[in-house]
Structure 1
Amino acid sequence: MVVAPPRRKVLLVEFNEITWRIIRPLVAQGKLPTFARFLAEGTVASPVATEVPPHLDPWISWMSVYTGRPREEHGVHFLEQPPETVHGPKVHDLAAEGGRSVGVFGSIMTWPPRKDIRGFWVPSTFSPDTQTFPEDLEPIQQLNLSQTRAHTPLAKGTKLVRQAGLVARLIKLGLKPSTLARLAAALAKFKLQPHRVWEKVSLQPIINFDFFERLYRQHRPDFATFHSNHAAHYMHRYWRSHDPSAFLTKPSDEEIRQKGDAITFGYQVADELLAKIERLVGPNTVIMVASGLGQQPYVDERFPEGRNVLRIRDINQLIDLIGMTGRCRSLSIMAPQWILSFPDPADLDTAESRLRQAWIERPDIPLFAVDRQGDTLCLNLTQRAFEDYDPNRRCVFPHQPEREHRLEDLAIASDPTRKEGWHDPVGVLLVKGPGIKSGVDLGECSNLDLAPTMLYLLNLPIPEHMKGRVLMDAFEADLADEVAPAGVPAVSDALAAPVVASGV
């Protein structure tokens, strides 16, 4: 079978939760030169997520981006839920099945890796295990998962970097001596300036880009992705120090001194990576920078100083409390959530019932938020039940009425700051490359528009189930007027028509 070539290659740069609220002021201050160039020489838009709270989460919104389907259709409820319960196909799959070479690096909910592709596949840093394609890339995930599982990236994972055997394998996979020197300098800096330890979070994407760059040069895929969550981390934790204006309680001068440039630092790392990506791609490649969704200051009158984020103190203790020791597999995912997988459906039913029945202070205040998909439970403390962390609050598991617990036995508030940023449906899209208009702002669109737009650029059929439209106004006439070859449907009027995102 003759496979028609792509109109353009596509590299999707996934900077999770970045927002125009931060980008535009920093561009105006001259602090993001690469973003400024994309604004001047490319097309931008503000994709609005079709999801609404309590479903406005990145693992849901990114799946909407990848599939062109709303949450009600793709079925994602929580991060790394069993893949057989998720309905695609994703753009990555459509590209591979359409004969395109594919390179996936870090995209959310892409585990397990496909092994029938031309290219490479390194799943998310929240994946259940270290599987990659090809298998010799697994040391990358050994490093990534060690950082993610620690919940303070590189705080514990740096010990792995010091292991000579792993370092040698990572160097073979692309880790540069200059990056190792940068890592060593950063660790030395943190000893002298411990208040800047938050910079560690940005080391992970810098290290990962070395691996991605080598793989991209080796395979030159038609469709590729690169994902980083570092900017989202900074906004969740340090927004009040970055810009106190929206907050009910203002930060101290010392807090601003120690943390005030964390968000700017994170965005400048993204700017640095974007410049490297721009130099990396070939002349026929369109770069699409997207955020999945955005962020905004966390302001709630119930929590004038920000809300504590409580974490389960000891997951093994909790598993023992519900009588499931040795009967399930636990996995920490995005803090503070856990997933528990059960081979026995009866154990799954029992565990779900006992967790849902647990309460704090009164039987009508659930201790846990629980979601069930397939053989897996997603588990978190009911965060909004805790207006303040009182370690002596009474917690009860009704299946053990004779035993009572204090909150401090089960939960811990260990984050360096309270919650300061939360999700916003309005995200970011920047598109730059051959055939893309310069200096155009499309305004709001739907996050469902990205998948059909990428498929159009790849010269692949657009499935009828996709609810979005191709963003034709981003294209110069020569790209917009290209006729699809035989066997590849042209974009229909229905797909090219605007779609109003439901729930926005």
Structure 2
Amino acid sequence: MRSGPSSGNVTTKPSPVRPDNCAVVLLEFNELSPTLISGFMEAGELPNFKRLYEASSIFTTDAEEAAPNLEPWIQWITVHSGLSYDQHGIFHLGDGHRLDSPQIWDLISQAGRSVFVCGSMNARYDLPINGAILPDPWATGTRPHPAGAFEDYFTFVQRNVQEYTNDRVQLSKGDYLRFLRFMLGHGLSANTAISIVRQLIEERKNPNARWKRATILDKLQWDVFRYWHRAHKPDFATFFINSTAHFQHMYWRNMNPEIFTVQPDLNEQSEYRNAILFGYKEMDRLIGDALALTDDGRTVLILCSALSQQPCLVYEDIGGKTYYRPRVFERVLEFAGVAGPYKVEPVMSEQFHIRFKTEASAKAAAEALRALSLPEVPAMEAHCSGTDIHAGCNIYRQLSKDVPLTGLGGQSTPFFRLFYQVEGLKSGMHHPDGILWIRDPLSTADHGARRVSLRDVAPTLLSYFNLPAPVAMTGRMISTSPGSGVRNAEKLRGF
């Protein structure tokens, strides 16, 4: 772990006692770039971000990690648990349920306050819990709570997100009807309904416009969040979305083509050159809704990104980074000679989980997958943990159309018979700096732009409920009182 701005052996000024009716809404907008937000705000493109910025104390978080440990499913666990990666050890998306430490909503619930977790990445929770949990769409070991409350919504969104690169998502008419019935009873807004209709019309005219669907899922998620928040008024609530992070990964090349060696073609540019700005402007509308929802004099509104992104230039010498995904996961396993029974659970990009009943079966399957090869290079990564495998194709360069895939027994088949290349080249990569804006009705805005450890977020959230941080949390509470935060940050650096 890299050295950061915070030390576990330093004490800071205690937080003031909060009123019993204090509430917190934590907006988790994954991987937003401080640099891009600043530029877009200056250009007048993000009026609601600007309103929140002007009313907030501004901090930059340091994830204190570098690749390969710089991933959102690692950093969000740090936000939610207050533990560094060295402490929590959760490396893969979908493994959050393996964490054996409580997260902030567990501690807040145990104190008798109510919670609502809406989409937080790689989340886990303890039962009983005083509230509701809607897991992220990549979750494989965490289910919605209460049981049955969000299942129709969760199933629909999960399959759309996990298979977003496929032209066809495996959903039945019944799945669509159950989802529609759920949304009609859980806050579907006229704005979202109109946006869906417009999106479908645009796709009929221009099939390439399908990429904008990610923002429709954001709107649906916000409708559910707003409905539940208004109905139940939780003391602590989280709201997570990922669309703009995805746009940055895919379309930074189109936003700033001059800095890349591999240039997008003219047709691609006409479609995607403003994709990232589009994502930020869609999030700006949600910021406006969040400001209205929390304008009650008691709610602390926090915007957190956990980490951010920067241009990805490290793969330009091989033609840009691409990746490959199984057309049908079971066919790849069959070709590799993997025997059932097993359950495949797609995750993100090229990655997927395989669940077996025995450790011996999982170990044999991992060896068979790692034996799959292209000429002179392995084709797959497969990491075994007990009865589970986390796997994915580890080829990130351009392949010829006739390249063969060879299995453990020497059998061969065309690689593209089993895999497909996901459209586009990766052009955004992770950066450890993150956004932390805190609009606190009991404090005035402070734009000192102090740097803090990402580990400081969890104890700060607990402080709003007058709760002490567990001993395992090595971060410290951030003060939003003007001036004091600067002194605390200096103390944490050892000055």
TM score, norm. by length of structure 1: 0.87
Secondary structure of 1:405 counterpart:
strand
CA distance in 1, matches of 2:440, 2:462: 16
Amino acid at match of 1:145: Q
Q: Does 1:360 align with 2:374?
A: yes
Alpha-carbon shift at residue 75 of structure 1 (Å): 1.6
The change in CA–CA distance for 1:395 and 1:142 in structure 2 (over 3 A counts) is: closer
Identity of aligned residues (%): 25
Secondary structure of the equivalent of 1:378? strand
1:490 matched residue in structure 2:
none
Residue 463 of structure 1 corresponds to which residue in structure 2?
Answer: 470
**C-alpha distance in 1, partners of 2:174/2:346?**
21
Residue range with higher mean Cα deviation, 299-308 or 198-207: 299-308
Deviations, residues 230-269 of structure 1 (Å, cap 9, x unaligned): 1111111111111223212333443322111111111111
C-alpha deviation, 1:439, in angstroms: 3.9
Alignment of 1:392 onto 2:402: yes
The secondary structure found in structure 1 opposite 2:222 is helix
What is aligned with 2:237? 224
Q: Given residue 421 of structure 1, which amino acid in structure 2 is its aligned partner?
A: G
**CA positional deviation for 1:186:** 1.8
1:101-133 deviation line (CA, Å, top 9, x unaligned): 10100001225x655222221111112389422
Letter in 2 for 1:475: S
1:167 matched to which residue of 2? 180
1:82-161 aligned within 5 A: 83=97, 85-111=98-124, 116-128=128-140, 131-134=143-146, 135-152=148-165, 156=169
1:498 aligns with 2:485: no
Structure 1 distance, partners of 2:335, 2:348, is: 23
Distance 1:252 1:463, change over 3 A: same
Contact 1:114–1:121, Cα closer than 8 Å, also in 2: no
Q: Residue type of the partner of 2:481? A: F
Gaps of 5+ in 2: 1-16
In structure 2, what is the Cα distance between the partners aligned to 1:160 and 1:428? 41
Match of 2:413 in 1: 405
Distance 2:181 2:474 in 1: 47
Judging changes above 3 Å, is the alpha-carbon distance between structure 1 residues 150 and 129 closer, same or farther for their aligned structure 2 residues? Answer: farther
Question: Among residues 283, 293, 299, which one is paired with 1:285 in the alignment?
Answer: 299
Give the equivalent residue in structure 2 for 1:344. Answer: 358
Structure 1 unaligned residues grouped into runs of 5+: 481-492
Root-mean-square deviation (Å): 2.8
Q: Is the 8 A contact 1:15 1:290 kept in 2?
A: yes
Alpha-carbon distance between aligned partners in 2 of 1:154 and 1:397, rounded to the nearest angstrom: 28
Cα separation, partners in 2 of 1:162 and 1:368, compared to 1, 3 Å: closer
Corresponding residue of 2:481: 475
The one-letter amino acid paired with 1:370 is A
1:194 maps onto 2:207 in alignment:
yes
Report what 1:433 is aligned to.
Answer: 440
1:471–1:496 Cα contact (<8 Å) kept: no
Q: Counterpart of 2:14?
A: none
In structure 2, relative to structure 1, the CA distance for the partners of 1:118 and 1:23 (3 Å cut) is same
Shift of 1:34: 1.2
CA distance in 2, matches of 1:162, 1:462: 43
Tell me by how many angstroms 1:308 deviates: 1.5
Contact 2:460 2:477 in 1 (8 A): yes
SS at match of 1:422: strand
- The structure-2 alpha-carbon separation of the partners of 1:147 and 1:222, relative to structure 1 and needing over 3 Å to count, comes to same
Asked if 1 retains the 8 angstrom alpha-carbon contact of 2:32 and 2:434, the reply is yes
Which residue of structure 1 aligns with residue 220 of structure 2? 207
- Report the Cα distance in structure 1 between the residues aligned to 2:18 and 2:273, rounded to whole angstroms: 51
**C-alpha distance after superposition, 1:440-462 (max 9, x if no partner):** 23332221111111111121110
Shift of 1:153: 9.2
Provide, for residues 150-169 of structure 1, a one-character-per-residue CA deviation record: whole Å limited to 9, x for no partner: 22499748976994454123
Contact 2:27 2:238 in 1 (8 A): yes
Segment of structure 1 superposing worse, 93-102 or 388-397:
388-397
The 1-side partners of 2:123 and 2:315 are apart by 38
SS where residue 60 of structure 1 aligns?
helix
Cα distance in 2 between the residues matched to 1:194 and 1:96: 46
> Are 1:182 and 2:195 an aligned pair?
yes
Cα distance in 1 for partners of 2:76, 2:391 equals 21
CA contact (8 A) 2:359 2:386 kept: no
Change (3 A) 1:162 1:179: farther
Distance 1:427 1:82 in 2: 21
In structure 1, the residue matched to 2:278 is 265
Do the aligned partners of residues 249 and 163 (structure 1) sit closer, same or farther apart at CA in structure 2, a change above 3 Å counting?
A: closer
Deviations along 1:362-388, whole A, 9 cap, x unmatched? 2xx3321222334211111113xx432
Q: Matches of 2:34 and 2:151 in 1, distance apart? A: 35
Indicate how the Cα distance of structure 1 residues 432 and 142 shifts in structure 2: closer, same or farther if over 3 A, else same: same
1:483 is matched with: none
Q: Is the alpha carbon distance of 1:154 and 1:440 closer, same or farther for their aligned partners in structure 2, counting shifts above 3 Å?
A: farther
> Residues 325-384 of structure 1, C-alpha deviation per residue, up to 9 Å, x if partnerless?
43211000112211001111110111122223333322xx3321222334211111113x
Sort the Cα spacing of 1:273 and 1:158 in 2 relative to 1 into closer, same or farther, 3 A.
farther
Q: Distance in 1 between matches of 2:475 and 2:66?
A: 17
CA offset digits 1:446-486 (Å, max 9, x no partner): 211111111111211101111212112x2359x99xxxxxx
Residue identity opposite 1:266 in structure 2:
G
* Corresponding position of 1:484: none
1:381 aligns with 2:393: yes
* Cα distance, 1:304 vs structure 2: 6.1
Contact residue 82 and residue 375 of structure 1 kept, 8 A: no
For residues 236 and 53 of structure 1, what CA distance do their matches in structure 2 show?
Answer: 15
Q: TM-score when scaled to structure 2?
A: 0.88
Q: Is 1:453 paired with 2:467?
A: no
AA matched with 1:389: L
The aligned amino acid for 2:421 is: A
CA distance in 1, matches of 2:213, 2:437: 27
3-state DSSP of counterpart to 2:92? coil
Q: Distance in 2 between matches of 1:18 and 1:294?
A: 5
Q: In 2 relative to 1, CA 72–468 (structure 1 residues): closer, same or farther, beyond 3 Å?
A: same
Is 1:313 aligned to 2:327, yes or no?
yes
